[in-house]
Amino acid sequence: MVRALPFVGDDAALVAGVRAGNRQAVAALFDRHAPHVRRVLARVLGIDSELPDLLHEVFLRALEGVDRLSDPAALQGWLTSIAVFTARGCIRKRKARRWLRLVAPEEVPEVEAATPSAEVTEALKEAYLLLGRLPADERIPFALRFIDGMELTEVAAACGVSLATIKRRLSRAQDAFSVGARAHPALADWLEGGARWADPRDP
Amino acid sequence: MGRPKGPLGALGEEIARAQDAELALSEAADLAAAKGRLLAGAPGRRRILRWQVPLAAAAAAAAILLVPRAPDSLSFRVEGTVAAGETGAFVSVPAGESTDVRFSDGTTLTLASESHARVVQVDDRGARVVLERGSVRARVKHLPRARWTVGVGPFDVRVTGTAFVVQWEPERQEFSLALREGSVELSGPLVGRARRIAAGETVRVAMRERRFEIVSGERVAAADPIPGPEVSPAAALPPAPQALREPSNAPPVWLVHAKAARWQDTMAAASPDWNGWLGSGDAAALTLLGDAARYTRDVARATQAFETLRRRFPGTPRAAEAAYRLGILAGGDRATAARWFQTYLDERPAGSLAREALGRLMEVGDEVRKVQAARTYLERYPAGPHARLAQSIVGE
């Protein structure tokens, strides 16, 4: 039986392979970068039953636009920006259907948060409720910066705006989230705890 | 990573950690599903890129990938019209009549007399229909990947293959759903999250009166009479009871609120029989009640709930978690707080709250306990969020 060899090469070679229509390159593109893309989607949207659909959509967009990628070495950053764009589109579509939803049982995600503590699970839930109330252009940079821990320049690149613009949006998001978090008991506990437990030598 | 220092950064780090744990549970399945569709050229939300490798390259053993065209969107037709249905156009049903909207996959929506609706979006998997007022009976064809949404006032009905009648009275803010076939899960105001509705059940929500009910076993006939002009759509349903009635198989109202994190509503619903719930509820229920009281700053009731839990369910993981929460509730009484955090660690040294309990002991414990907790923390969680504090305590 003939087995296809896995694709070998850096991201620049990967992009060249995808552009050339190499199936192994497409598979390798996904294998190498899908976990990161999925994580970025989850940071912005929270744990979501549509993650597989959205993940697929991001890579479809990537395949369609791969010829426009000017710097193949910046592949991950480019994929991040596509993920952010896709997540933003999803947020906007959901604005109109925020209330009650009937979902078929097989579509309801069954996630057992066995590892995190009950406190953190509650904080996770409340954090995303709060984030859902922010405008998309503030929610997204906040999630990328404070939850995913991206550098400011990475956040700006992912959102397709200048560093100055992302700083302004982050400042607004930070203020709104902090005010909202102090009104949510699970988050207030963590915010106060974070302040208490910080090393006093920290600036 | 460049996460900012300070409470928000620390909170963000904890959220990321918790989220990563949840993501890990479904990672293999999610990745396999998305990759399979990508490589098979399965249709997504957009058309698949159609691209090929030239034959010459194929002859040189490069892979050739032919991606099939994405299937076309469904089409539909409104009964009584010749042309195909138009997305976005209103379908208004005259009094005394009913109108079918038939889709190319076999799905049929029957609009009742004086109903108004629109098909706002159609794709290859289904459609989104908005019912502005009135009643629609839906028979959704159960197909793989089917995805239908019916917007009904502030509610959304999302199904993959079932038959139901849904109704919305915007002036009275009343919603109802009668499920004939299949099953769905219902989430939203008053009913909570992810409530399973089975075939034969009817759900009614009266938003202004803040009540809902689920009635089992009502007959929903195959040929339901569509209300005529002399009967209002609401009256066509079985009459509502005079008083609030909770079906025996429905959870208590306070639990519905608690699962939706509506803590004030939880306490309002549970308070009239607070001691009764503490005496009859299981450990999970007592934990929710205690948390609801804690989140609404009712320290006395929260303490009562957690102490009752420990008394009624000794030695259980939830009893240990109750000890941790009692430590938080102790507030400025550092000795009591320390005792409860230590109790948690004694009962569940490797429990899910062990790291937090050690962290809190570092703050409220006496000098001996503080140092012990710091050393244990550094042994077990050398990279934990409180590691620097622990290091400052042990002087490293």
Q: Read off the pLDDT of residues B271-304 as tens digits, 9 standing for 90 and up.
A: 989 999 999 888 889 998 998 898 888 899 999 9
Q: Which of A96-110, A148-162, B178-192 has the largest mean confidence?
A: A148-162
Residues of A within 8 A of B328 (CB-CB) are: 189
The distance of B66 to chain A (nearest Cα, Å) reads: 10
User: Quick check: B56 pLDDT over 50?
Assistant: no
> From CA B349, how far away is CA B360, in angstroms rounded?
14
**Residue B234: predicted pLDDT:** 38
Q: If you average pLDDT over every residue of chain A, what do you get?
A: 80
**Could you tell me if B348 and B354 are in contact, meaning their C-beta atoms sit under 8 angstroms apart?**
yes
SS (HEC) of B242-255: CCCCCCCCCCCHHH
Question: Rounded to the nearest 5°, which phi and psi values hold at B203?
Answer: -110, 135
User: Quick check: B212 pLDDT over 70?
Assistant: yes
Q: Please give the CATH architecture assigned to the domain spanning B76-236.
A: Sandwich (2.60)
Q: Is A175 on the interface with B (CB under 8 A)?
A: no
**Residue A117: predicted pLDDT:** 54
Of B23, B194, B391, the CB nearest to A47: B23
CA nearest to B234, candidates B134, B367, B104, B108: B134
The distance of A121 to chain B (nearest Cα, Å) reads: 7
* Nearest residue of chain A to residue B47 (CA atoms): A60
Strand partners, B159: B148
* Nearest residue of chain B to residue A190 (CA atoms): B11
User: Quick check: B233 pLDDT over 60?
Assistant: no
Listed in sequence order, the DSSP H helices in chain B are 7-40, 55-59, 253-259, 263-270, 274-280, 283-295, 299-312, 317-329, 334-347, 354-364, 367-380, 387-394
Q: Which of A158-162, B138-142, B349-353 has the largest mean confidence?
A: A158-162
Q: Which of A108-117, A137-146, A180-189 has the largest mean confidence?
A: A137-146
Residues of B within 8 A of A189 (CB-CB) are: 328
**Could you tell me if B222 and B137 are in contact, meaning their C-beta atoms sit under 8 angstroms apart?**
no
A116 or B384: which carries more pLDDT confidence? B384
What does the pLDDT average to over B309-324? 91
Q: Which of B59-63, B161-165, B340-344 has the largest mean confidence?
A: B340-344
Which residue's entry shows tokens 């928000």? B8
**Residue B44: predicted pLDDT:** 40
The interface predicted TM-score (ipTM) is: 0.83
**Residue A114: predicted pLDDT:** 36
Tokens representing residue B297 in the block: 């700053």
Give the number of A-B residue pairs with CB atoms closer than 8 Å. 268
Cβ contact, residue pair B39, A194, below 8 Å:
no
**Could you tell me if B96 and B113 are in contact, meaning their C-beta atoms sit under 8 angstroms apart?**
yes
For residue B33, name the pLDDT band (cuts at 50, 70, 90). confident
For residue B62, name the pLDDT band (cuts at 50, 70, 90). very low
**Window B:224-263, CB contacts with A under 8 Å:** 261, 263
Cβ contact, residue pair B44, A200, below 8 Å:
no
Least-confidence region, from B235-249, B332-346, B376-390: B235-249
Q: Is B187 on the interface with A (CB under 8 A)?
A: yes
For residue B51, name the pLDDT band (cuts at 50, 70, 90). very low
Please, which residues have CB within 8 angstroms of residue A29's CB and are 6 or more apart in sequence? A14, A18, A59, A62
User: For A7-45, how does the pLDDT look when each residue is reduced to its tens digit (9 = 90+)?
Assistant: 778 888 899 999 988 888 999 999 999 999 999 999 999
Least-confidence region, from A176-190, B18-32, B166-180: A176-190
Burial class of residue A101 (count of CB atoms within 10 Å of its CB; 0-12, 13-18, 19+): buried
Which residue's entry shows tokens 């320049």? A153
Q: If you average pLDDT over every residue of chain B, what do you get?
A: 76
Residues of B within 8 A of A85 (CB-CB) are: none
> From CA B4, how far away is CA B189, in angstroms rounded?
37
Q: Is B9 on the interface with A (CB under 8 A)?
A: yes
Question: Rounded to the nearest 5°, which phi and psi values hold at B109?
Answer: -115, 125
- Looking at chain B, the domain(s) classified CATH 1.25.40.10 span 254-394
Strand partners, B122: B127
Site from B13, B20, B27, B30 to mutate, A interface, most A CB atoms within 10 angstroms: B30
Of A60, A108, A192, the CB nearest to B44: A60
The distance of B374 to chain A (nearest Cα, Å) reads: 12
For residue A3, name the pLDDT band (cuts at 50, 70, 90). low
A194 or A140: which carries more pLDDT confidence? A140
DSSP B273: G
For residue B221, name the pLDDT band (cuts at 50, 70, 90). very low
Q: In this prediction, what percent of chain B has a pLDDT beyond 70? A: 76
**Residue A121: predicted pLDDT:** 66
User: Quick check: B384 pLDDT over 90?
Assistant: no
> From CA A184, how far away is CA A147, in angstroms rounded?
18
**Residue B252: predicted pLDDT:** 84
Residues of B within 8 A of A51 (CB-CB) are: 26, 30
DSSP B267: H
- Looking at chain B, the domain(s) classified CATH 2.60.120.1440 span 76-236
User: Quick check: B169 pLDDT over 80?
Assistant: no
Least-confidence region, from A187-196, B19-28, B170-179: A187-196
Domain B254-394 indexed as CATH 1.10.443.10: no
Strand partners, A101: B156, B187
A40 or B333: which carries more pLDDT confidence? A40
Tokens representing residue A122 in the block: 């509650």
Of A24, A39, A108, the CB nearest to B23: A39
Q: Is A185 on the interface with B (CB under 8 A)?
A: yes
Cβ contact, residue pair B11, A181, below 8 Å:
yes
Torsion over CA: B348, B349, B355, B359 (sign): positive
- E strand or H helix at B184, and its extent? strand B183-188
What does the pLDDT average to over B177-198? 72
Of B4, B49, B389, the CB nearest to A63: B49
**Window B:313-342, CB contacts with A under 8 Å:** 321, 328
* Nearest residue of chain A to residue B321 (CA atoms): A118
What does the pLDDT average to over A88-101? 67
Cβ contact, residue pair A56, B189, below 8 Å:
no
For residue B198, name the pLDDT band (cuts at 50, 70, 90). confident
Residues of A within 8 A of B16 (CB-CB) are: 43, 147-149
For residue B178, name the pLDDT band (cuts at 50, 70, 90). confident
**Residue B241: predicted pLDDT:** 36
Tokens representing residue B143 in the block: 């197909």
What does the pLDDT average to over A180-198? 62
Please, which residues have CB within 8 angstroms of residue B324's CB and are 6 or more apart in sequence? B340, B341, B344, B353, B356, B357
User: For B68-116, how does the pLDDT look when each residue is reduced to its tens digit (9 = 90+)?
Assistant: 445 577 888 888 776 678 776 778 888 788 888 999 888 899 999 888 8
The secondary structure of chain A as a DSSP string is ---PPPP-S-HHHHHHHHHTT-HHHHHHHHHHHHHHHHHHHHHHH-S-TTHHHHHHHHHHHHHHHGGG-S-GGGHHHHHHHHHHHHHHHHHHHHTT--SEEEE-GGGS------SS-HHHHHHHHHHHHHHTTS-HHHHHHHIIIIIS---HHHHHHHHTS-HHHHHHHHHHHHHHHHHHHHTSHHHHHHHHHHHHHS-TT--
Burial class of residue B258 (count of CB atoms within 10 Å of its CB; 0-12, 13-18, 19+): buried
**Residue B337: predicted pLDDT:** 93
pTM above 0.90, yes or no: no
Our measurement of the distance from residue A192's CA atom to the centroid of its chain's CA atoms, rounded to an integer in Å, reads 26
